[in-house]
Structure 1
Amino acid sequence: MVASAAWSAGDKTGNASDEDLLLKVGAKIRQLRKQRGLSLQALSSGSGVSIGVVSEIERGIGNPSFNTLTQLAHALDISVRRLFDIPEQHSPVVRKADRRALDARDGIEGDARLEILTPSLQGALEAVWVTAPPGYDTSATPFSHPGEGFGVVLSGRHEVWLDGTCHVLEAGDSISYQCMTPHWYRNPGPQPVEALWIVTPPTF
């Protein structure tokens, strides 16, 4: 599943078109890859993203999902925010209307909405509000990166897979794990899932 995406405020207004954003993100990935002396094949192997998709993204003609960008960022040993221009908030309070979100601007069916709850992205942890529709599934792009993760499901029924083992979370259930363990998420439905996720150090 691929979707154009942009960091935006709660009012869903952006400063660049999807096309401009994809060109900037692709150029940033190419720049970071070359700085690290990685070939396209090496980045593909390290991220689990096919070499053809990596090449398309770098040229700004791909249409990557957030999960794909996360895999590439982790393979480049950076946080996902390095690929975007994300403004810092100076107040310690984040109002609901001011949450910064990775917004699937085209409303791609099946994409989760991720909203950053921490005012700064430079701290030791990040808190993320996740809204995952029925059918949301990241099994095609398992995550594996340094750090620790904690999640609590607020509503719905969510599957958290850790190294192939499924943990089913109902509303009120929580889970903690080492993020180096390959992990992915799935909402089997029929209701949307709302959850709070905390990761340290920040991965977004």
Structure 2
Amino acid sequence: MTQLVRTLRKERGLTLEMLAVDTGLTKSYLSKIERGQSNPSIAAAMKVAKALGVDVGQLFADDASGTRMTVDRAGSRAATERYQAIAPAMLGKRMSPFLVRPGTEFAADPHPAHEGQELVFVISGSIELDHAGNLVSLDTGDCAYFDASMGHKIRSTAGDDSQVLVVAFNET
């Protein structure tokens, strides 16, 4: 993602300062993303993608050429530390799906909210969801659907064994 963000920013004639204004993220944080010193949360990646005029999945894609249908095989997804984009090459998506392996602590994400709505479905393990200070425990098979414009974050309560499907949706 790091090189792609820098490339897209420069292609669009944007400075880090301009991108910071467009995203509401700090110049320092964006610089860390571009240098690979920070992996952005889904919320932060959505802000960057919107400002750069690309689908958020493209930021996680090995091949951003785009298609009208994609099939992701379990062993072929590009993975970052915590997030795996699903169907990253699909252009024009209205939903942004990710497989997430949350850590055992809530991430110290300075930007835990984004426009739109979000669905969190626990595939395995158990998690705790903090939605605007309201803590909810979710186990395998449980899900939550919520307003993503309010701060939210998840953590595993099952060690490293939790896997969660997160689907973010933004109409704009």
**TM-score relative to the length of structure 1:** 0.61
Structure 2 stretches lacking a partner, 5+ long? none
Q: Which residue of 2 aligns with 1:80?
A: 56
Q: Which residue of 1 aligns with 2:95?
A: 125
Q: 2:110 aligns with which of 141, 159, 182?
A: 141
| Identity among equivalent pairs (%) | 18
Is the CA contact (8 Å cut-off) linking 1:112 and 1:136 kept in structure 2? no
One-letter amino acid of the structure 2 residue matched with residue 73 of structure 1: V
**Offset of 1:63 from its aligned partner?**
2.0
Is the CA contact (8 Å cut-off) linking 2:64 and 2:89 kept in structure 1? no
Task: Name the CA distance, whole Å, in 2 between partners of 1:52 and 1:118.
Answer: 26
- Decide whether aligned partners of structure 1 residues 113 and 75 sit closer, same or farther in structure 2, where only a CA change above 3 A counts: closer
Instruction: Kindly indicate whether residue 83 of structure 2 is the aligned counterpart of residue 113 of structure 1.
Output: yes
- Decide whether aligned partners of structure 1 residues 191 and 180 sit closer, same or farther in structure 2, where only a CA change above 3 A counts: same
**Offset of 1:65 from its aligned partner?**
0.7
Q: 1:42 aligns with which of 21, 34, 38?
A: 21
CA displacement 1:84-125 (0-9 Å, x = unmatched): 652435555433344x33x23xxxxxx313240587242322
Q: Which residue of 2 aligns with 1:52?
A: 28
**Offset of 1:202 from its aligned partner?**
8.2
One-letter amino acid of the structure 2 residue matched with residue 26 of structure 1: R
**TM-score relative to the length of structure 2:** 0.70
Structure 1 stretches lacking a partner, 5+ long? 1-5, 7-21, 105-110
Q: 2:73 aligns with which of 95, 100, 108?
A: 95
Q: Which residue of 1 aligns with 2:8?
A: 28
Task: Name the CA distance, whole Å, in 2 between partners of 1:81 and 1:92.
Answer: 12
Aligned length: 168
Task: Name the CA distance, whole Å, in 1 between partners of 2:135 and 2:71.
Answer: 35
